[in-house]
Amino acid sequence: MDLIALAVPFFLAAIAFELIWGLLRGTNTYRLNDSFSSLMLGILSQARKFVVLGVGGTVYEFAANKTGLTQWTADSTITWVVAFVAYDLCYYWQHRLGHERQLLWAAHVAHHQSEEYNLSTALRQTSSGFLLGWVFYVPLFLLGIPAEVVVTVGALNLIYQFWVHTRHVPELGWFEWVFVTPSNHRVHHAQNSCYMDRNYGGVFIVWDRLFGTYQRELPEEPCIYGIRGAINSWNPLVALTHVYADMINDICHTGTWRDRLRVVFARTGWQPADVARVWPRKKNGLAVFERYDPPASQWRKLYGVVQIAGATLLLTFGQVNPLSTQGYWLVWLLLLWTGVATAFWLEGRVSAFCLVVDLPRIAVLGLVVLSVGLSTTWWLLGAVWCVMSVALILAEMSRLSTLGTAPEFLPKR
């Protein structure tokens, strides 16, 4: 049973509730462009399961079968309690090293790029964590904890973490001493110097207290969310690959093999000295920090809403319908293409450039809807997505025409 998939409707309902609550109280924490980016990355993370084999699962099976340790019984309450606590300890070290080591940070960074902090941020997940994240949970299988127990407590751990991504819940007294809460997790997402690399626990904050990484949220130090090397983009491809790209650049341009190897395993943010002199990485100045928020017309914003709804529809289609390998790849690539093309509209790119990227996507989507034998319901939903996309693009072109702004292929200088 996929507990994460079952929880998604509740996640979306909670996001809607938080949005309405914030609007009614005058404390709204959502921006459409930022939330689009978070939700799109969450969709791609879920869709990644369509096309990636479980490397970790193979290793886990080997570890469980070769150690000779007696398997714990899944019928025992003790098994579940031990597994739940042990999983969170493993998660703490995965999460901590995911911040402290460059290669692991490359996979985790997408979760921290949002410069807002709300429940949609919780769904902002990586698509490349499967590469090495599984390593940290091998001890659970070596101990003989059944695979189904590990998978279930892992899902419960992730589901718990959803509710702590909000600014609407204050400190919770004694609860702060034992569990991860919205207050101490806000610290984790802040880029303030006093908050950096703190509060890594998933469910229990006691690990941070034990290992010296705990930091309380300070009333005199409001959290500034995001990462120091802001990407200033809603493009999911940029979000998922920019640290890998920085590492490749450093490896290619440094003059020594020692530094080339060190790039991969160094502390996050480290650069070879010879590369840093020529290509230093720009960092935010927090004293004058401004969130990335390029202006976009109402038509472009509405377009973003329609595309995230369509992407959710496409993800659901892939989850409930058995497809061929090629079919799953097509779904994943269409989702990525949707995220990239829509990001260009929301970033205020010139309209002709957006059209060149986006119209072929709509054409491919339309061909799929027309040519694949879909049920009436799926066919209608897909057709509505395509028609609404074209209608909103025409509305945006009409707006630009009224303003006397012809579509251009290059930005104005």
Sign of CA dihedral 273, 278, 284, 289: positive
Give the other-Cβ count within 10 Å of 25's Cβ.
9
Residue 411 has pLDDT above 60, yes or no: no
pLDDT score, position 260: 96
Average pLDDT over residues 339-345: 98
Confidence category of residue 66, pLDDT binned at 50, 70, 90: low
Cα separation, 6 vs 3, whole angstroms: 5
**DSSP assignment of 143-201:** TT--HHHHHHHHHHHHHHHHTTS-SS----TTHHHHB--HHHHHHHHB-SGGGTT----
Residue 62 has pLDDT above 80, yes or no: no
pLDDT score, position 287: 75
**Opening angle at CA 78, ends 93 and 137, nearest 5:** 25
Average pLDDT over residues 221-240: 96
Average pLDDT over residues 285-314: 94
Residue 57 has pLDDT above 80, yes or no: no
**Taking a C-beta distance cutoff of 8 angstroms, is the pair 86, 143 a contact?**
yes
Q: Any idea how long the chain is?
A: 413
Percent residues over pLDDT 90 in the chain:
77
Residue 359 has pLDDT above 50, yes or no: yes
Residue 408 has pLDDT above 70, yes or no: no
**How many Cα neighbours within 13 Å face the side chain of 96?**
18
Average pLDDT over residues 268-289: 89
Strand partners, 204: 179
Helices (H) and strands (E) in the chain, counts: 18, 0
Residue corresponding to tokens 């690539």: 333
**Taking a C-beta distance cutoff of 8 angstroms, is the pair 228, 191 a contact?**
yes
pLDDT tens for 173-200 read 999 999 999 999 999 999 999 999 999 9
pTM over 0.85: yes
Confidence category of residue 380, pLDDT binned at 50, 70, 90: very high
Cα maximum dimension of the chain: 75
Confidence category of residue 71, pLDDT binned at 50, 70, 90: confident
Q: Where are the domains of the chain?
A: 3-211, 298-402
pLDDT tens for 246-266 read 999 999 999 999 999 999 999
Measured torsion, CA atoms of residues 340, 346, 351, 352, in degrees rounded to the nearest 10: -10
Arithmetic mean of pLDDT over the chain = 92
Token representation of residue 360: 């072929």
